[in-house]
Structure 1
């Protein structure tokens, strides 16, 4: 027997010696709103004693086997519960105008935890314009009574700033759905869960939307999404006028939103960001941002110590070829003969260069390469966008077919009309004056 249970046993023995236990009512203890609550919630313990012969009771509350009474009310309320209030509670009662006592109740356990909001995205965080997406905010271990607000992260650095979405209220139930994503939906999101006096913010969740014809290009040198450590990396935002009104920003895997100029080993000159010596913490999503706040050309860049995959920086156009290579920095030449995988499935083995001719939408997915001795590369998402030329050609074909079908449909009516006019004129010629 545990020592902490000894006071509870002594209290029970005391009750037995003061009379027959079977003649005494046994209290019933309830906890509202629940046995498992969160820090800051309002919690009420209630002790009910039912006995036909007694109309009024004085109540005694005990915690964790102690014989010390901490409350003498039928209902004991914690207006803002804390972790120190967690424990096992029980009660008994004494007749107000008499000497009768109740038995002690069964113990009930109150658990108090810190709420944690978890933000996720479905189906995925990388999207093409027009794709549907849903942000989902949930509180661990609880599903009722919470309302949710939605924010975007706007400020760089450790102390990120949150901006409330203008239509935040439509996601109050925990799901914020966009039926057709556009470039303006790219960003880093946060949700806030509230219930009674409790409010908690979630993790950050990025969402990246790729456009078909962005007004600016993010030029990366070397031109690939995965890079070795301790090398120089250049990122330039170039529009048609080569203007300097663009800033390179990034969102790292550690959840930080940063400008290039704030990086320890980075600097920005005009619209070009240069990282002098890459490190793994440089891994993240990089993009071009205008002076007015628009964001374009989001690229996921990975800095890795070992094997890397060389893949296109930007989405591949349908009908084009896709070329993938595998590199390892500690051999010369660094190109590896490796196995190539898509979404976890082997698609080509023991080759220095994998080429997929005539890419289609079905080739979208996560790619990586693997070598039996040097290891495997990180995964890179390769997206495929539709071809403008094929769409225009298809549209022109549809237009021609539409005209021909319309003309053919009108032919019978034209023939009938001509015949009727001819007959009418002929009858007029035969009519006497």
Structure 2
């Protein structure tokens, strides 16, 4: 405004100087217009026109301020342009103004109002696909090209063909409608690419290209029909059917019952169909499909879903712990309803003549679907039922549950090995609650006047129902007891009767023979290992030496030689063993087995004798065919000494006493001599072996 006033003042000075006097209000003001009107974009040209309503021959003066200059400093462009209008490339921020002067004169008009050019960047259209997301075979699609915020555009379409883009226009396959391109259903192909750009309707100016879109074409979908009920629907409850398609936006859903009949279909804008209160008439088969677009494009029908309507369920009543319940036990009853409805639970107990609600007080604890009873009583009866959350539907009552309560058991405590226990032998105690399962055992040992717990240690091995005491920790008169502990809850049995260990010295068996004297060749001989008790023992037999590697074992306490021979003669020992690891008794004393041919038998002691003992030796004659009786003679050693070991006795002296007894003495003499010689030789052999 300061520049305009200055210009007018200067003009007035010139006019006055020339002798002209003109009022400022009488000066004309031109109007400045721009073509095109509206938004200008990069690449646009504008035509500026300076117009004045006063008639005359005018010369036009133009001035411009560039985008980098001061808004108050205009630069004259008269040297180049003196016409009423001119066209120039649009530059953002440029300002223009004009004035006029009479041709050949010096008087000029006022300046026009300046115009300010605003030039915007070329827009990029947005390209969208309808329907959104996946497109299915047999479905037409529409592409929409939009330059948002601007008007006056039409649109050009292109399709990718190989590495090139080709123009798309109205045809039998394409319908172009302003900003929309519709592709016929049979011309829609997977992976096809399209793009668009805008074209100004009033001049030759194009926008940028849109981002291309790539079509994703899939097979015609088939929805999945599901129900809010996993099983049969109960009369009176709501049921919701769901037509699952992966995407529901833009689809309308169609529901059929009993048959696929489009005329009887029910449509919903959502993918679910609600039956608010199901009845028997709602039962049957259902299908669904979805449709969208114009004309309507339909999916396949879903598979059929059968809706079964039933009466309310009957709860099942279970008890924890399972199995036996004992005095002092606590039990938990559970009311189970096979239904996905939300239920509240009602518990009732039989009281003499009627059912009444279980109170929320000791000994009862109610927690939704469970009822816990402490300190149970045998014979009590309980039942339950369910009601849905809005109390509009109730189940039937469960079966009645009757509590059976047993007395606490008393374990049986046994000792292995049975009977006496011997020093150096480990002991196993077994705690058994017969007739029941699910118990572990707790062990105690008497200590003074009290009992202390026994657990796994270096002296004790605990294995379920067995306590093994290490051999060097077994003591005479020790007392032990046990009781059962339920594995699934805190409940103990009574204590067993205590057992008192009886520990004795290691035993020594006595080895005897079925023969009181020498064994006759060919006859059987049985050796007996006498221990006082034989149950639970295995017997081990040695010959000549104590060699465990050459021992023969038997399950019985006797060892039989079915037909004795000379090689069976010699010293024998026995011992017994039991348990794991094996516990052995002492060895027995040695037993001599003497083998003879049997004609004259000299019977000597079968066991070693002690010096100073009194011993009698017998000599028998085996009866001959013609003899009626067996004859026997004897000699006595009053005091046995070491010098008698292996000594030969005068068999002839013994036989002489037999001469007066029998007329067959000569035969006996001969046989006696043979017996003497055989005996003497046998003794020599024994000495050699010893």
TM-score under structure 2 length normalisation:
0.29
* Higher-helix-fraction structure: 1
Larger radius of gyration: 2
Q: Relative contact order, CA 8 A, sep 6+: which one is greater?
A: 1
